[in-house]
Amino acid sequence: MSAVVGRDYLHNAWYQAAWSDELTDSAPLARTVFETPLVLFRGSEGRAVAMLDRCPHRFAPLSRGTLAAGTLTCGYHGLSFNSLGQCVQNPHGPIPPRAQVQVFPTLERHEALWVWMGEPEQADSTTLPDFGFIDTTPASAKFRGLMTVQANYQLVADNVLDLSHVAYLHPTTFGDVLMHARMSIEGDDRTLRARWESKDVKPSPAYQGAVPEGNADIWAVVNWHAPALLVIDSGAVPTGSSRAPRDSILALHSLTPAGPSSTHYFYCITRGVRTEDAEFNAQLKSLAELAFNHEDKPMIEAQQARLAQVDLSLTPPLLLSVDGAAVRARRILGRLIAAEREIPPTRQVESVP
């Protein structure tokens, strides 16, 4: 919606390419990141591999090939490649020196495959934020998914960063409990934290699991990590009660640009209560997916379609106080992208996110 639009990606960062259980050692998976077709699979010793999904011979997608013993064989003419992208078999003659497929650095952590689309030598596993809450939550107390939204990843991030939309877009589930919340923002040069707190309000259906009767204190804290990894810590306790860590619902919202107006939206939602209740888990999953797929997705896609018709230099968006976090996130991201390009960031117009 300003400095960061379209193809302005931050390349030197980890992006989620898949959930770990999407990868197998028998069927390659095709997925597009930054407009680049990738083939994802388990190579030798089960290692997760992200490779350019294009045979160097005649450009057939390698994802249409076969995978066996960690080796991917092109389904068109039979060249085989190992986990390093090296050609290990040419059934028609000697292996040509140029027979190499580009491989991207990967990291498998927190039940997810992360890929590094920038300079390989800069790939640093310590720069991935810690989402250890996913690892420590039992399977019956979490659910995850992926939806691909036809909109720029920044619009999806805006949606998570500005929870003031919840009362309007999700009235029957999350409702208006945050409508009159106190909101505060803090952050540094790569992260932001936006905190909403409502005291002594009637809980909406999404919070009635935690507080079935009487009023509640409700909170939601959005932790944003550049470029587009967000964790929401939210929950409710009976009015005036103290909070325990187990009262928090922790939700990862992990956004990966597929292209300038297409985003892979990975999510994983964990809880600390009723952790053995698989039926409750299924109910929550169904509720969340209804909200994500039928409320967030169509609105963000409609917003993207309108945005495509607007000249932002003539018609900047009208910013409200609730846009504070989204605007700060875009500024931080704009600076990081500019730094990556070694171009000094241009002066930011204050009123434009």
What angle, 0 to 180 degrees and rounded to 10, lies between the N-to-C axes of helices 324-340 and 153-161? 140
> According to CB under 8 A, which one of 5, 303, 335, 340 is a site residue for a second copy?
303
Site string for a second copy, 249-288 (x = CB under 8 A): ----------------------------------------
Q: Which is it for strands 29-33 and 182-187: parallel, antiparallel or unpaired?
A: unpaired
What angle, 0 to 180 degrees and rounded to 10, lies between the N-to-C axes of helices 153-161 and 297-307? 130
Site string for a second copy, 323-342 (x = CB under 8 A): x-------------------
Q: Is 95 exposed, middle or buried (0-12, 13-18, 19+ CB in 10 A)?
A: middle
Phi, psi for residue 161 in degrees, rounded to 5: -70, -25
Of 69-77, 142-150, 223-231, 255-263, which segment contacts a second copy by CB under 8 A? 69-77
Size of the chain, expressed as the number of residues it contains: 353
Of 49-57, 146-154, 194-202, 286-294, which segment contacts a second copy by CB under 8 A? 49-57
Give SS3 for 292: helix
Tell the smallest beta-carbon distance from residue 36 to a second copy (Å): 9
Rule CB under 8 A: say whether 158 interacts with a second copy.
yes
Rule CB under 8 A: say whether 344 interacts with a second copy.
no
Rule CB under 8 A: say whether 61 interacts with a second copy.
yes
- Compute the half-sphere exposure of residue 231: CA atoms within 13 Å on the CB side of its CA: 15
Tell the smallest beta-carbon distance from residue 316 to a second copy (Å): 9
Report the run of H or E that residue 288 belongs to, with start and end. helix 278-291
E runs forming strands in 74-225: 80-81, 87-89, 103-104, 106-109, 112-116, 142-149, 182-187, 191-201, 216-225
Closer to a second copy by CB, 39 or 210: give it: 39
Rule CB under 8 A: say whether 314 interacts with a second copy.
no
Q: How many residues bind a second copy (CB under 8 A)?
A: 50
DSSP string, 130-167: --HHHHHS-GGGEEEEEEEESS-HHHHHHHHH-GGGHH
Site string for a second copy, 80-119 (x = CB under 8 A): ----------xxxx--x-xx--------------------
Structural contact between residues 114 and 107, judged by C-beta atoms closer than 8 angstroms: yes
Tell the smallest beta-carbon distance from residue 32 to a second copy (Å): 10
Tell the smallest beta-carbon distance from residue 268 to a second copy (Å): 25
Q: Which of 31, 29, 125 is nearest to 72 (CA)?
A: 29
Site string for a second copy, 169-208 (x = CB under 8 A): x---------x-----------------------------
Phi, psi for residue 349 in degrees, rounded to 5: -75, 125
Of 113-121, 134-142, 241-249, 320-328, which segment contacts a second copy by CB under 8 A? 320-328
Q: Which of 255, 261, 256, 219 is nearest to 237 (CA)?
A: 219
Closer to a second copy by CB, 179 or 244: give it: 179
Q: Which of 180, 157, 158, 171 is nearest to 295 (CA)?
A: 171
Rounded CA separation 225/244 (Å): 24
> According to CB under 8 A, which one of 273, 307, 338, 339 is a site residue for a second copy?
307
Residue 227: asked if its preceding bond is cis (omega within 30°), the reply is: yes
> According to CB under 8 A, which one of 76, 140, 148, 239 is a site residue for a second copy?
76
> According to CB under 8 A, which one of 47, 71, 78, 145 is a site residue for a second copy?
78
Tell the smallest beta-carbon distance from residue 322 to a second copy (Å): 5
Rounded CA separation 87/99 (Å): 5
Tell the smallest beta-carbon distance from residue 158 to a second copy (Å): 7
Residue ranges in contact with a second copy by CB under 8 A: 1, 35, 37, 53-54, 56-61, 64, 73-79, 90-93, 96, 98-99, 158, 162, 164-165, 167-169, 179, 298-299, 302-303, 305-307, 309-310, 317-323
